[in-house]
Structure 1
Amino acid sequence: MSEYDGGDTGAEYGHVEAGENHESLDQLHQVDASQNNYDSQFGVYEQDHASAESTSFDQGHQVSYTDPSGAHYEESDFTSYDHSAAETDHVFAAEGSESASSSEFHQLDAIRAQLDSAFSEATVIDTDTPPSIAAG
């Protein structure tokens, strides 16, 4: 720092400063992330079928004759047919899927930076006769 005294010129003094700045920057950056997924899908298929059938066939023929002398004649034809059926079907199916996943992510960054700078500043006073300023 230096000062200037103008003496009988009537000027005030000036101010000059020069130096260096040293600073550092520390930064910590941290990221934590996770992801979980779960999926399930199930299906059930079922089918029922039932049927019933019944058939009956009857046929007949009957002849009966009695004459005046008491003779008797009889003829019979008869057919009978019966059919019954029952049927059931059952189908069952199931399918499914299930999945799960998990992931994690971690990151840690440490940054250190050194900042160096030089500076100078001065206050100059203008007068009729410029003063000489010397840095000390």
Structure 2
Amino acid sequence: MSDFDTGADYGHVEAGQEHESLDQLHQVEGSENSYDSNFGVYEQDHASAEQTSFDQGHHVEYSNPDGTHYEESDFTSYDHSAAESDHVFAAEGSESSHASEFSQLDALRHQLDTSFASATELHTDGGGQLGVASN
């Protein structure tokens, strides 16, 4: 406490400032990859062979006692050969790929500034008392 010529008496007086800050950093990263392939080969073979042989004969021979002679021959021959071959080839396929990446960054900065003043008593010669408080 202080005494002045004015006769005033000051009690508790306090003033000040406070500064605080909050820093927070949050980071997330990730990736995803996928691959798919599907291939197919189809093949078909077919082969056939055919062979036909047909023979037919006819023979007539006649001799007469008077010395005449008759002879007849008929002959048929048929041959057939065939070959067949089939080939089918097919291929199909698909391929796919996917890739993704992500990154996330969250930053939080908060500043807290406060100032305060506080006074408790003031006495003057007039005998009055004043209470003061503020922030």
Question: What range is the shorter-chain TM-score in?
Answer: 0.5 to 0.7
- Identify the residue that residue 93 of structure 1 maps to in structure 2: 90
Aligned partner of 1:59 among 38, 56, 60: 56
Q: CA RMSD in A?
A: 3.0
Return the TM-score normalized by structure 2: 0.63
- Identify the residue that residue 41 of structure 2 maps to in structure 1: 44
Please show how residues 56-135 of structure 1 align to structure 2 within 5 Å: 56-114=53-111
Deviations 1:16-42 (A, max 9, x none): xxxx98754322111111011111111
* Distance across 1 between alignment mates of 2:54 and 2:18: 119
Shift of 1:71: 2.9
Deviations 1:42-91 (A, max 9, x none): 11111111111222222211101223344321101111111110100001
Q: Secondary structure at the match of 2:37?
A: strand
Shift of 1:115: 5.9
Deviations 1:100-123 (A, max 9, x none): 121110111111234689xxxxxx
Return the TM-score normalized by structure 1: 0.63
Q: Which amino acid aligns with 2:60?
A: V
State percent identity of aligned pairs: 78
Q: Which amino acid aligns with 1:34?
A: S
Query: How many matched pairs?
Result: 107
- Identify the residue that residue 9 of structure 1 maps to in structure 2: none
Runs of 5+ unmatched residues, structure 1: 1-19, 118-136
Q: Which amino acid aligns with 2:56?
A: Q
Shift of 1:98: 1.1
Runs of 5+ unmatched residues, structure 2: 1-16, 115-135
Shift of 1:92: 0.5
Shift of 1:94: 0.7
